[in-house]
Structures are given as C-alpha cells and as structure tokens.
C-alpha cells in the first residue's frame, strides 16, 4: 500500500532535502480556517502537516497549544468533524496529513471505525502521545491492515530496550522529542537530541523527525543536521492565536521561512 508519507520522505531524501512538518490545532480558530490553513501551508512548502485533535486533558501540550485546544473545543470541534475537514482538504491537496490525537477520542469513536474512516477521508499517519507502546498493539494491527501509519514518540529518557519496541511499532518515521516535558517554544534546543537521534539511527532505518521546542528557522536549521524532518508546533500556533483574522497570510510566510531555512 502506498502511503503519502513514504513517498514524500523518500523523494526528499533523494533530493538531499529535509522535511518541514508544521503542527496546528484543528478547529483553531475554526475548522473552515483550518482547511484553508492546511492548503496555504502546503502551497508555502510544508512537506507533511500535523493536525491536532482537541482533547480536554492535553497532557503533552504546553500552554500555547493548550489554549489553542481550548479555543477549538469551544468551537465544538470533534474528531468526526475533523475527518470531514480532511475530506475537503483532499479535494485539492495531496500533502501527507498526520493526526495527533490522545487515545480517548479514538476510543470513543471506536478503533476499527476510526482507522477505516481516517484512511477513507485521506489521513496518512497517526500520533497518539498518551498510548504507551506496550498498549498499542490492537491499534497498530488495525492501522497496518488499512495502511494508516502509527508514528511513535521517543524521548531522551527512553531506555534502549524500550527504543527497540518503539521502532518496531512505528511506521513512516520516528518522532524524537528533543526536550523532556511538555511542548512549547524554547530559547535553546536541547543538545541531548544529538545522542538521541544517534541511538534511533542505530535501532532503525526509518526516517527521524524532531519536534517539541523548535521555535525559530535558525533552530530548525541547527536541528536538521541530526534528522530527516523538523516538526514545529507552538511557534505556529502562537501566530494563529495572535492573528486569528490574518492567520493564513502570516502562517504561510512563517512556513516558507522555515522551509527555506531547511533548504539552506
């Protein structure tokens, strides 16, 4: 089964380029804007786009994303509505799309139905930050069957034996968390990422994405030497919060800046 994530990352590797992956909270400021933001980010050079599914207890998210999630929930955003939005995006764009969702909304939806509907609407990958690898087997099996990629997270605190488990149950790429704790904008990137990505490279041939704490194009350039893809969330979500009426233009420019920084 062909997955857009594989196609994208393979092509970029051949071209000796790094992938830029922006994250936004779906439904912030509303789902209509989310659809337009995704299209605009794809046009501005985003290689893969991560859409956050709002949940009332976002444990892995820092204050910027927590506020975005709250705004989205106030708009009545739900997982079924997000999948409807993905359908709209797919009418014109083929950019790979990854949903980042806590386990509860998926469980409420029904695992089997969710995986089938996600693939049918055009979702390529899934990140579930609160689902430990030891408990992911059922979701992983369903996802593999339908061609949906379950992308696992590793942190500087991940042990070597656990890392082997994580890469075994990961598809598409491995998501390296560059700092421990919640997401957010930080002044300096964590130097531990060099050691972490080295360990992941020893354990798997899957591409490596780095996120959590990358907040400027300069940091993205710095981080790119260790990985295949750089993931940026809070810095983009912050711009949406500050400029809800002009979010599309401002975010497009920011995405273009990040992408050109990675190309330099």
**Half-sphere exposure in the Cβ direction for 237 (13 Å, CA):** 31
Is 199 in the active site?
Answer: no
Q: What is the set of domains in the chain, with CATH numbers?
A: 4-263 (3.20.20.70)
Q: Tell me: pLDDT of 59 over 80.
A: no
- Pick the catalytic residue: 50, 124, 228, 241? 50
Strand 174-177 and strand 149-150: the pairing is unpaired
Residues 107-120, mean pLDDT to the nearest whole number? 99
Each residue of 117-154: pLDDT tens digit? 999 999 999 999 999 999 999 999 999 999 999 999 99
Residue 149 sits at φ, ψ, to 5 deg, of: -90, 120
- What does the mean pLDDT of the chain come to? 94
Q: What is the percent of the chain where pLDDT is above 70?
A: 94
**What's the pLDDT score for residue 180?**
57
Is 61 in the active site?
Answer: yes
Each residue of 40-55: pLDDT tens digit? 999 999 999 999 999 9
The alpha carbon of 243 is separated from its chain's Cα centroid by a whole number of angstroms, namely: 22
Q: Tell me: pLDDT of 225 over 70.
A: yes
- Pick the catalytic residue: 61, 124, 228, 241? 61
Residues 79-92, mean pLDDT to the nearest whole number? 99
Q: Tell me: pLDDT of 188 over 60.
A: no
58-62, 126-130, 173-177, 243-247: segment of lowest average pLDDT: 58-62
Q: What is the percent of the chain where pLDDT is above 90?
A: 86
Q: Tell me: pLDDT of 108 over 60.
A: yes
Residues 231-251, mean pLDDT to the nearest whole number? 97
Look up the pTM and report it: 0.95
- Interatomic CA distance for residues 238 and 25, integer angstroms: 11
**What's the pLDDT score for residue 210?**
95
Residues 16-43, mean pLDDT to the nearest whole number? 98
Cβ-in-10-Å burial (0-12, 13-18, 19+) of 143 comes to buried
């Amino acid at each position: 089964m062909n997955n857009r994530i594989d196609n994208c990352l393979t092509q970029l590797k051949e071209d000796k380029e790094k992938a830029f992956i922006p994250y936004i909270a779906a439904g912030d400021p509303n789902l209509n804007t989310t659809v337009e933001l995704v299209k605009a980010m794809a046009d501005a050079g985003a290689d893969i786009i991560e859409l956050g599914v709002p949940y009332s207890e976002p444990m892995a998210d820092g204050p910027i994303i927590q506020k975005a999630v709250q705004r989205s929930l106030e708009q009545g955003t739900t997982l079924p509505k997000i999948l409807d939005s993905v359908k709209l995006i797919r009418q014109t764009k083929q950019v790979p799309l990854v949903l980042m969702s806590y386990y509860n909304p998926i469980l409420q939806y029904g695992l089997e139905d969710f995986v089938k509907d996600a693939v049918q609407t055009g979702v390529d990958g899934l990140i579930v930050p609160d689902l430990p690898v030891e408990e992911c087997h059922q979701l992983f099996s369903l996802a593999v069957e339908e061609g949906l990629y379950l992308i696992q997270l590793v942190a500087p605190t991940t042990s070597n034996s656990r890392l082997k488990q994580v890469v075994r149950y990961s598809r598409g790429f491995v998501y390296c968390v560059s700092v421990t704790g919640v997401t957010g904008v930080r002044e300096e990137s964590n130097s531990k990422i060099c050691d972490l990505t080295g360990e992941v490279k020893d354990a798997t041939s899957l591409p490596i994405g780095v996120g959590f704490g990358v907040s400027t194009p300069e940091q993205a350039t710095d981080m790119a030497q260790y990985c295949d893809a750089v993931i940026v969330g809070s810095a983009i979500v912050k711009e949406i919060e500050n400029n809800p009426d002009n979010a599309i233009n401002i975010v497009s420019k920011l995405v273009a800046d990040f992408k050109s920084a990675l190309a330099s």
